[in-house]
Amino acid sequence: MILLDRVSKIYNRKATALERINLHIEPKEFVIVVGQSGAGKTTLLRLLTREEKPTSGKIVVGGIDYDKLKDKDIPLLRRKIGVVFQDFKLLPNRTVFENVAFALEIVGMGNKEIQNTVPKVLDIVNLKNKANNMPYELSGGERQRVAIARAIVRQPKILIADEPTGNLDPKFAWDVIKVLEKINKFGTTVLLTTHNQEIVNKLKRRVVVIENGKIVSDRTNASYRL
């Protein structure tokens, strides 16, 4: 599902963000990428969403070879990957419903279908009764769940979550993680980055540790100590 082959990202001579990363993620896997701030986790995700190009190496996601991807087709790639950000990135002037619906509008889905689909997804993240609220009226955890609803509403094969719990209280953080597990159960490949030790250890999933731009360990059912 996700394949990185000897991928390096060098910003300049002094700053090597990623060095010869090899990573292979199977469909329906739940993979946690851990590492200190600045280890290269976010760079890795930015390469996957094509916000940046690797300096060298090969990336294939969901059958799309990034070397052959044209700039104008980037929107089409991004529609296939669901992304959840640490800072939620909700559209501030749109209601919860509209934020989720936006992901469907841009792929040209009809209004009726949108009216049907969005409530179902809001139900999955337990926000059905907040559909008409504006983002600023929600708690951090609720906002993040809206972001997750938006990321999964197009039923992507891959969900990338970049420190989704980073800005949340532990109580809310766990709500978010539970939603991610639920989605994974439905068959979506989940790639989660975090440096929350407790979450990693409780989840007992495959853990990839990045340090200074290199993968230093990659084990299943692993725990992690900072």
Partner 1 sequence: MKRSWITFTRVIKSGFVNFFRNLSLALPAIAVMTVTLFISLFLYIANITFSNTINQISDKINITVYLSDKTTTQQLNDFENSLRNFPNVKKVEYISKDEALAIYKAENAGNQNLLNAVDETSNPLPASINITPYDINKIQDIKNFINQKQYLALQDSQLGTSYSGDRKQAIDRIAKATKVLREAGLIGIGVFALVSALIIFNTLRMAIFNRKDEITIMRLLGAKPWYIRGPFVVEASFYGVISALISIGVIEIMFSIFSSALEASSLGLLDIGYASRYFNQYLWLILLAQIVLGFTLGALFSIIATARYLKLRTSK
List residues binding partner 1 (CB under 8 A). 49-53, 55, 71-72, 74-79, 83, 85, 89-93, 102-103, 105-108, 110-111, 150
Distance in Å, CB of 151 to partner 1, minimum: 9
CB closer to partner 1 out of 107 and 216:
107
CB closer to partner 1 out of 103 and 180:
103
- For 32, 36, 78, 156, the CA distances from 152, given in Å and listed in that order, are 18, 27, 12, 6
Give residue 159's identity as a one-letter amino acid code: L
Distance in Å, CB of 89 to partner 1, minimum: 5
CA distance 132 to 44: 35
CB closer to partner 1 out of 78 and 128:
78
CA distance 177 to 175: 6
Distance in Å, CB of 57 to partner 1, minimum: 12
CB closer to partner 1 out of 27 and 75:
75
CA distance 4 to 13: 22
Residue 158 class from Cβ within 10 Å (0-12 exposed, 13-18 middle, 19+ buried)? Answer: buried
Distance in Å, CB of 205 to partner 1, minimum: 25
Distance in Å, CB of 108 to partner 1, minimum: 4
User: 3, 24 in Cβ contact below 8 A?
Assistant: yes
CB closer to partner 1 out of 92 and 171:
92
Which tokens go with 82? 């669901």
Give which of 46, 129, 136, 123 is closest to 90, Cα–Cα. Answer: 136
User: 148, 183 in Cβ contact below 8 A?
Assistant: yes
